[in-house]
Amino acid sequence: MPGMWTTADHIDLLRRSLKTAVPYTSGVQALRKEDLGLFYRSAQLEEEKGAARYIDFSEGPSEESLAQLASACQKATFGSEAAEGDVLDEEYRKAGKIDVKDFSARLDIAAAGILDAIAPELLVSQDMKGKALRAEMYKLNVYGPGSFFKAHKDTPRGDNMLGSLVVVLPTRHEGGALTLSQNESKWVFDSASQLQAHSGSSVVAYVAFFSDVTHTVEPVTAGYRVTLTYNLFVTPASAPTTRITPPPELACETSLRALLADPKWFPKGGHLAFGLTHQYPMPRPYANSYSRSRNQSFIDTALLKGCDARLRNAAVRAGLQPQVRLMYRIREDGYAGSPALIVMDDPVEIGDVYEEFDMDFEIQEQGTIFKEVNERGRVPSKGTDTERAAKRQKTGEDEAAAEPEEDAREEDGEPVYWVTPPGEKNEAESGYGGYMGNDYGQGFVYGHAELFVRIPKVGEEGREVSADDDQ
Ligand SMILES: O=C(O)CCC(=O)C(=O)O
Ligand SMILES: [Fe+2]
């Protein structure tokens, strides 16, 4: 335990924990040769309907057989919010596709061990004990020379959709790396070089990632890159699963416990809030098919992804009760009343409301108002947090010293400190180039969510402060 750590250090550790996790897992899986066969039929050539072709990937398929497979493909489309549907635009995505009804792959990713390999990396929430991954085959894609797919997210097809799996079949090709990006980090999965390193043995390369992570297929410069893609869902497991607590999660727990033990930190209680790193499937705002009982939390915490899940697990382990909520800022552009931060347990029910003003009113009616406080849970009596920090730096004072702080006034709303800033308004980004999916989602779009951790006040259950500290 770092004895000299300040409140700011602990808060910083929690903040950084949301930025450092890798949102994907990848590998190379050896298979039996006979499991690398693929039957397909051409969806568009009438005379070929009913007649299937077979291609064997185990011995390095010939250029000719791959070209034949490519010519059996249709042009791949993608989803555009601006167009409110699927569009074909080869400036954005140039690739061939075969729909699941028109091909049959011998590969069984569960039997091959691929699902078992990726599950622990994707099922991070401690509520995932008793949960398993279910993979639903989505498409076969062929990326010939000059093919690519620009930056996009994979459209959520249900609120329990967690990730995407791409299996790259063994063909010689160059280019076509999958790049993933989140916050300021970037990762590359280069299937061409991975397969090259194992040429001569029957293997596939695979990558599984949280599907809200932005990804890009770089142009293929030579050969054919053939992929099977799957959507990954969370389902109940048939047998209980175990999970080892990873060290970064333990570090978050330690910092939370240290903060809770300090009687000067949030003495009157309040909330720590985190703008989550991942985005989550939310019902389309105007989708009238959406119904959910009011007492059910909007996002099942078991469905939290990666670093978000880790943070939530740490809070639970520290004895706290984290909750996923949605944040709305209202009255930003000059309507009566000052801007306010409203938090909801459900997306606002907007019904027939179209005007921004009415929407703000609805949100205020349905939500809880919060008052922002500093990282110690207090309101500085003079100046803002930033001004005070600048002054401290100048005078060399430490954070706990000196200037008077007050507890937040109850009538201003519940005190909240944002450890990481919230996502903007709770809307999916829109516009061509803004929100792009791999197809157009009818029911769900990605939205930002926030994790709220309620801090009990000193003396309340769950808040044992250090005995040797003065108060
Ligand atoms: O082929 C890949 O690596 C990814 C393809 C992709 O992003 C998609 O089909 O949505
Ligand atoms: Fe994708």
CB neighbour list of residue 140: distance below 8 Å, 6 or more residues apart: 38, 40, 73, 97, 98, 100, 103, 105, 226, 227, 228, 229
Residue with tokens 């006979």: 34
The number of angstroms, rounded, from the C-alpha of 324 to the middle of its chain's C-alpha atoms is 13
> What H or E segment, with its residue span, contains residue 37?
strand 37-40
Tens place of pLDDT per residue across the chain (471 aa): 545 899 999 999 999 998 878 999 999 999 999 999 999 998 666 666 668 899 999 988 999 999 999 999 988 888 887 777 888 888 888 899 999 999 999 999 999 999 999 998 998 877 666 788 999 999 999 999 999 998 999 988 888 899 999 999 999 999 999 999 998 889 999 999 999 999 888 999 999 999 999 999 999 999 999 999 999 999 888 777 777 888 889 999 999 999 999 999 999 999 999 999 998 887 765 333 334 433 344 677 778 999 999 999 999 999 998 988 877 766 655 555 566 667 766 666 555 445 555 666 777 777 777 888 999 998 876 555 555 566 556 555 555 555 567 776 666 678 899 999 876 544 433 323 345 677 776 677 787 888 999 999 999 988 977 765 444
Assess whether 396 and 260 both reside in one domain. Answer: yes
Q: Which of 204, 236, 268 is the last residue of a domain?
A: 236
Judge if the beta carbon of residue 439 lies within 6 A of ligand 1.
no
| Euclidean distance between CA atoms 76 and 72, whole angstroms | 12
* Cα 95 to averaged position of ligand 1 atoms, centre (Å): 10
**Count of domains for the chain:** 2
Assess whether 146 and 186 both reside in one domain. Answer: yes
Judge if the beta carbon of residue 180 lies within 6 A of ligand 1.
no
Assess whether 91 and 51 both reside in one domain. Answer: yes
**Is residue 445 within 8 Å of 302, Cβ to Cβ?**
no
Distances (CA, A) of 95 to 154, 174, 227, 366: 16, 15, 11, 46
Pick the atom of ligand 1 nearest to 189's CA.
3
Assess whether 178 and 208 both reside in one domain. Answer: yes
ipTM of the complex in this document? 0.98
Its domain, for residue 378, covers 7-19+245-455
On whether residue 1 sits in a domain, the answer given is no
Short-list 469, 439, 378, CA closest to 161:
439
Assess whether 204 and 103 both reside in one domain. Answer: yes
Assess whether 150 and 288 both reside in one domain. Answer: no
- Partnered with residue 340 across adjacent β-strands are 330
Assess whether 290 and 424 both reside in one domain. Answer: yes
Phi-psi category of residue 306: left, alpha or beta, with phi > 0 → left and psi -120 to 50 → alpha: left
* Cα 287 to averaged position of ligand 2 atoms, centre (Å): 24
Assess whether 72 and 193 both reside in one domain. Answer: yes
Judge if the beta carbon of residue 226 lies within 6 A of ligand 1.
no
* Cα 209 to averaged position of ligand 2 atoms, centre (Å): 10
Assess whether 340 and 202 both reside in one domain. Answer: no
On whether residue 467 sits in a domain, the answer given is no
Residue with tokens 């899986």: 29
Assess whether 294 and 442 both reside in one domain. Answer: yes
At CA 333, angle to CA 327 and CA 339, rounded to 5? 45
Assess whether 228 and 258 both reside in one domain. Answer: no
Q: Which of 236, 264, 281 is the last residue of a domain?
A: 236
